[in-house]
Structure 1
Amino acid sequence: MNISLDLLQLLDAIERRGSFAAAAQALHRVPSAVTHAVGKAEEQLGYPLFERVGRRAVLTEAGRSLLDGGRPLLEAATFLERRARQVASGWEAELRIAVDALIPAKRLYPLIEAFYAAGHGTEIRLSSEVLAGCWDALLGGRADLAVGAPGDQPPGGGLTTAPLGEVDFVFAIAPTHPLAAEPEPIPAEQIRRHRAVVLADTTRGLAARSAGLLSGQRALVVPDFDAKVAAHAAGLGVGHLPRALAEREAAAGRLVLRATAEPRPPIGLHLAWCSSHRGQALQWFRERLCRPETRAALLAEALVA
C-alpha cells in the first residue's frame, strides 16, 4: 500500500502551512527529507500531489482528493493514540452511567460539566433505566455506574452501593376518574377494579418488577414518567406518582391526589457500581455523587424539571 498515515500527515502539514519548508519546521524534519518523501510518494502513486504557484505548494486535484479522504483517518488515529495514552494512565476511554427514570438525567449535567472542565478526556455515555434496569445494566456489563438504582440490590454480589435518599409517592388520578368521587382513604379492593398505569421495566436478565400493581389488577404499561402522567391525566388508569411530580400536576388541575388505605411506602435509591472497576473516572464521579449536597440536588423535587 502506497498511502500511509505518515504521508497523510505530511500532506496535511504542507497544505496547512503552504510550503515544504514550513511543513518541515512544524514536523521537526529537515526540508530535504520532506521533499524526498513527497517525491517518493508521487513516484509510487504515479501522479503529482503538488504544484508550485508562486512560492506556495498547492495540492493538485488528485492530491486534494487524497488528503480530503485521509483527514478522517488522521483524526481517528489521533483519537486512538490519545485514548490509549489515557487508558494507560488509569482513566477509562468511556464511562457508562445508567440513570433511573426517577432522576432526570439533566440533574447530572453540572457534574459532567465540571468533569469536562477539569480536562478529563473520558467519554460519558448516559442511559435511562426503569425499576430493575439499573441493577441489570450493572450486572449485565451495560453500565459501569448506576445513579438512582431503586429498591433492594439483587442477589449475586459483585456490586458496591451507597444510599442516595428516598422518593415519596402519592396516589394520583384524573379529576374525571370514578375514583375521584370515592371517600378517602380508598381501599385497595376498590382500586383493584380499575386499570393501573405502570412503567415498563427495562431489565433484560433480572426478574421484571411491577411497582404499584395490585394482584389481579389490569395494567397499561408505558415507557416513561411523561407517558405515565399523560395516561393518568387522560383517565386511562390510576396509580402512584412521585409526590413532587403529582403535586405539580394537581396544582395545574390535571390530576387530583387521594389518600389510600394502603399508602405506597417511599422507595430508596442507590448509587451502585461494579466492585472490580478501578477506573479514575468512576472514582471521580463516585466521590462527588456521595457528597451530601450532590445527593440533595439529584433528589430535590424529584422528577420536576
Structure 2
Amino acid sequence: MPYRPKSTLEQWRILQAVVDAGGYTQAAELLNKSQSSLNHAVAKLQTQLGVELLEVLGRKAQLTAAGEVMLRRSRILTQQIEDLELLADNLDKGWEPEIRIATELAYPKHFLYKALKQFYPLSRGSRVQIIDTVLTGTSEIITQKKADLVITGMVPKGYLSEPLYVTRFIPVVGANHALATLTSLEQSELGQQLQIVIRDTAVKPQEHAGWLKAEQRWTVNNFEQAVDILKLGLGFCWLPDFVVNPLLENRVLQQLPLQQSSERLVPMSLLAPQEEALGPGSRQLRQLLLAIHDK
C-alpha cells in the first residue's frame, strides 16, 4: 500500500511558529489564529506521531529532546516545499518581472553597471532592484532569501559561490591628520584614535569582521560619508582600494604606515540564495557578470 503521511505541513508550520514565537499566545497573534486552534494542532500532531514534542514550563512552551530533532527536520521539509512552489511559480511566469541584486558596498559597482548595460537589451522589461548591504546584513539577505543574486565578501556555510573580485582595504586618514606625518605606526597606537566605520545593514549586526579595536568610533552609512569626515582631519578608516586610490594620488588622503597588516584582502563572490528557483533573467545577468570578470 502507498505510504500515507500522519502529519500535515500546516501542523509543522504551527509547531515552528510556537517555538519561534516563544509560546502559543505569541504564535496565535503572529499567525492570526486562535490559541486553542494552535494547541489542538500541536496536540494532534504529537498524538499522530506518538512522540512528545513540546512541554509547557510556566507560560513558555519548550521543545523536548525529540522535539528538537523533529523540528530541525521539519524546517528542511517546509523550506523544500517553499522552494518547490517558488520554482513552479517561476516556471509558470517564465521571465521574472523583477530581479533583485544585493551587493556589498565593498564591491566596485562599475562591474555590475557594465553587466547591466549588456543585460538591458535582453531584459524583456524586467525591473532591476539593487540593494546595498554591509557585512552581516549581506548574510541576512542570503539566509532570508531576499535577493535573486548576491555579491558578498562572506559566503555562509552551505552556499556555493563564484569568485568575482578581491577588494583591498587600506587604512587611511585625511592629509591634514596628525598621523599623516608618521613614517611608521603600530596597530596598538590606533586603539586610542577615532575610527570611522561603515554601518552594518543587518537587523541584528554582529561585530565579527574588520578591525574594530578603537575605543572611540563614529558610524556612517557609506564610504562617501567616511571620506567627508576624513577630509576634515578627523579619525581614520579602512576603505576599499577603488574608493581611496584616486584620493591617495591627489593627496587628499594618506595611507597609514602600519608595520603589520597594512591591508586586508576581502574576496568578493557571486551566489544565488535560491538556485533551484532562479529565473532565466537572473541566470542571464549572472552569466554576463561572470564574463566581465573573466576578461
TM band (smaller chain): 0.5 to 0.7
Question: What letter matches 2:115 in structure 1?
Answer: L
Counterpart CA distance in 2 for 1:266 and 1:92 is: 35
Aligned residues: 206
Paired residues for 1:273-284 under 5 Å: 273-274=272-273, 275-284=275-284
Give the fraction of aligned pairs with identical amino acids, expressed as a percent. 21
Give unmatched runs, 5+ long, in structure 1.
1-84, 298-305
Aligned equivalents of 2:195, 2:205: Cα separation in 1: 23
- Report the counterpart of residue 145 of structure 2 in structure 1: 141
Question: Aligned runs of 1:167-206 on 2, under 5 Å?
Answer: 167-184=167-184, 186-205=185-204
Q: How many angstroms apart in 1 are the aligned matches of 2:245 and 2:118? A: 32
Q: CA deviation at 1:232?
A: 1.5
Structure 1 residues 255 and 116: CA distance shift in structure 2, 3 A: closer
Equivalent position of 1:24 in the other structure: none
TM alignment of 1:260-275, pairs within 5 A: 260-262=258-260, 263-274=262-273, 275=275
Q: Quick one: which of 149, 153, 156 aligns to 1:154?
A: 156
CA shift for structure 1 position 271: 0.5
2:247 corresponds in structure 1 to 249
CA contact (8 A) 2:195 2:217 kept: yes
Give the C-alpha shift of residue 139 in structure 1.
1.6
The Cα offsets for residues 61-92 of structure 1, whole Å up to 9 and x where unpaired, read as xxxxxxxxxxxxxxxxxxxxxxxx99625322
Q: How does 1:1-305 map to 2 (within 5 A)?
A: 88=92, 90-105=94-109, 107-118=111-122, 120-147=124-151, 149-150=152-153, 152-155=154-157, 157=158, 159-184=159-184, 186-205=185-204, 207-214=206-213, 216-262=214-260, 263-274=262-273, 275-291=275-291, 294-295=292-293
1:250–1:256 CA contact under 8 A, matched in 2: yes
Deviation (angstroms), 1:236: 1.9
Q: Unmatched 5+ residue regions in structure 2? A: 1-88
1-structure distance, mates of 2:109, 2:244: 19
Cα distance between partner residues in 1 of 2:156 and 2:239: 24
SS at match of 1:160: coil
Matches of 2:217 and 2:209, distance apart in 1:
10
CA contact (8 A) 1:90 1:279 kept: yes
Sort the Cα spacing of 1:86 and 1:135 in 2 relative to 1 into closer, same or farther, 3 A. closer
TM-align CA RMSD: 2.5
Question: 2:277 aligns to what SS in structure 1?
Answer: coil
- Matches of 1:119 and 1:223 in 2, distance apart? 31
Residue 167 to residue 192, structure 1, CA distance change in 2 (3 Å): same
Q: Is the CA contact 2:197–2:226 (under 8 Å) kept in the aligned structure 1?
A: yes
Equivalent position SS for 1:290: helix
User: Does the CA contact (< 8 Å) of 2:183 and 2:257 recur in 1?
Assistant: no
Change (3 A) 1:208 1:284: farther
SS at match of 2:179: helix
Deviation at 1:108, TM superposition (A): 2.4
Cα shift at 1:174: 1.6
1:108 aligned partner, one-letter code? L
Do 1:133 and 1:201's aligned partners in 2 also have CA atoms closer than 8 Å? yes
Decide whether aligned partners of structure 1 residues 201 and 209 sit closer, same or farther in structure 2, where only a CA change above 3 A counts. Answer: farther
Alpha-carbon distance in 2 for matches of 1:252, 1:89: 51
TM-score using structure 1 length: 0.61
Counterparts of 1:187 and 1:119, CA distance in 2? 51
The answer (yes or no) to whether the contact 2:182–2:257 under 8 Å persists in 1 is no
Opposite residue 272 of structure 1, the aligned amino acid is L
C-alpha separation in 1, matches of 2:129 and 2:187: 41
- Separation (CA, whole Å) in 2 of partners of 1:239 and 1:119: 39
Give TM-score scaled by structure 2 length. Answer: 0.63
Cα distance change of structure 1 residues 227 and 210 upon mapping to structure 2, 3 Å threshold: farther
Provide the rounded CA distance (Å) in 2 between the counterparts of 1:212 and 1:126. 27
Are the structure 2 counterparts of residues 226 and 143 from structure 1 closer, same or farther at C-alpha, using a change threshold of 3 Å? same
Which of these two proteins has the greater Rg computed from alpha carbons? 1
Q: What SS class does the counterpart of residue 161 from structure 2 fall into?
A: strand
| 3-state SS in 2 of match to 1:285 | helix
